[in-house]
Amino acid sequence: MQRRRFIASSAAALGAASAPARIRAAAPALLSAAQRAPIEDAVGKAMAASGTRGVSVTVARAGEVVYAKGFGVRDVQGPLPVDPATIFAIGSITKQFTAAAIMLLAREHRLSLDEKAAAYVPLAPHATEYTVRQLLQQTTGLANYTSVPGFLTSVAESRTITPEGILALIARAPLGFTPGTRFEYSNTNYVVLGTIIEALARVPYGRFVHERIAQPLGLTHLTFGPPPAGSDLARGYEPQTGATAVTPWTPQATYAAGGIYAAPADLVRWDEAFFGGRLLDAATVRAMTTPPQLPGGAHTDYAMGWVRQELDGHPTIWHNGGVIGAHTRNSYFPEQRIEVLVFANSAGFDETRVIREAFRALVPPTEAQLAAERARETQPAPGEDSAITTAARAEYERWRAGKVDLSRYNATARAAFTDATVQQVAAGLSALGAPTAFVFGGKQSLPGNAGTAYIYRVSTPNGAVQYVYALDAEGKIAAISFRPEP
């Protein structure tokens, strides 16, 4: 369900929403063979590197699908091929819908973004300490429930777990930092938001999304939880070998953080409606896609269910999703109204290069942009400490091999990483391949001057990763993260 690639209900009517945008079927001639070739090469290499059985790629411009193709199989029994209509678990892309649901309630003056969560869900952990806005922006410090010991073995497949049961998993964990002072991705934030939606709307989360978002916008295959039997649903497979089908996480366990399923065409319609102002007004969309300014120079590119970055100097607004047996990404390029959707039936698939090649098929980079990209990949920032870089690279390789010694981490970091998390990260990094460049990008102080975070750009044959290696004042590893770059 993670935005970080490797880390690991009905009320009033929509009112002004118009009819669903017309989404036209793919026409092979819309992208030339020369434009398609780099996309398909990137898909093939990423599938081979990760052992992924099936992938779907859809590219649209202004609501018109210009490329839609399935690769491999959605189910090895048969076998049944992936096609452009195949439905996947979209994982944390769900957060886009949860955030939109909250903003619908805010528009109706049923909640205030700057009110403490306790005003709506008083029994949520630490609810008096953070606001609804901080939940949306993932700046609360709440522990990530999918990282707690026992999640994979006792919760992920549960059909009886409740949102309250999910929150009980982390109820005794202290906040990781003062709310509003830094970003840290935690699926728990969006579970709390789901309970707020249910408390105010007085209907289940899935019903609210269906009646207030999916149905009015014509998202015909979007469901909370798996679609009905007989649907064109992708079955998930384990990373690397792709030999064994996996048991999917239940919507009860993923809830408002990651429980939605959809076909690519649903997300094309969603992007066009959301960014076109047909669900929420332009000011709200801008607020939801603009990362906050954090105190002390702390940086975040996470807004409210959307990440904002750049590719070749062009803004890209996106979120990905990773649950067992699926990895997905919804990328939107607002200047060109281009959407790129990549869905795969393995959590180990890395879509970064596919997104890049699909965008470049429509908006080729200039020579200056390519030169800047090469320079960024090879020229370190000033102030590099060679000893720290050596240690950071060695730690990266330990994660890639899945052989991490957590005794070298401080207590907070140790608590965040389970064996399952380590193996999930290892699968993703291994799929990328051995680093071809390891470039220092700068450093920044941790909140409260508790240590220093060192930032690196790691280039590999199958994509690039922003790698953060943070040490506390005693030299223990305080945090570590791996995030794909466009």
Structural domain contains residue 46: no
Q: Are residues 166 and 285 in the same domain?
A: yes
Bridge partner list, 343 = 56, 328
pLDDT tens digits for range 69-94: 999 999 999 899 999 999 999 999 99
Q: Are residues 274 and 248 in the same domain?
A: yes
DSSP code at position 214: I
- Cβ atoms 435, 459 nearer than 8 A: yes
- Cβ atoms 323, 1 nearer than 8 A: yes
pLDDT tens digits for range 102-114: 999 999 999 999 9
Q: Is the pLDDT of residue 50 over 90?
A: no
CATH number at residue 298: 3.40.710.10
Q: Is the pLDDT of residue 197 over 80?
A: yes
Report residue 447's pLDDT band, with 50, 70 and 90 as the boundaries.
low
Structural domain contains residue 65: no
CATH number at residue 427: 3.10.450.590
The pLDDT of residue 121: 99
| Helix, strand, coil percent content, the chain, rounded in steps of 5 | 40, 20, 40
Count of the separate structural domains present in the chain: 2
Give dist(CA 431, CA 5) in Å, integer.
12
Tell me the C-alpha to C-alpha distance, in Å, between residue 379 and each of 7, 45, 375, 444.
Answer: 27, 27, 6, 18
Structural domain contains residue 104: yes
Structural domain contains residue 45: no
pTM across the whole model: 0.81
Q: Is the pLDDT of residue 97 over 90?
A: yes
End-to-end CA distance of the chain: 19
362, 390, 420 - which closes a domain: 362
H or E element that contains 43: helix 33-50
Q: Are residues 165 and 275 in the same domain?
A: yes
Q: What is the residue range of 425's domain?
A: 376-485
The pLDDT of residue 424: 80
Bridge partner list, 467 = 456, 482
Report whether the peptide linkage leading into residue 435 is cis, meaning its omega lies within 30 degrees of zero: no
Place of tokens 């506390």: 472
Structural domain contains residue 15: no
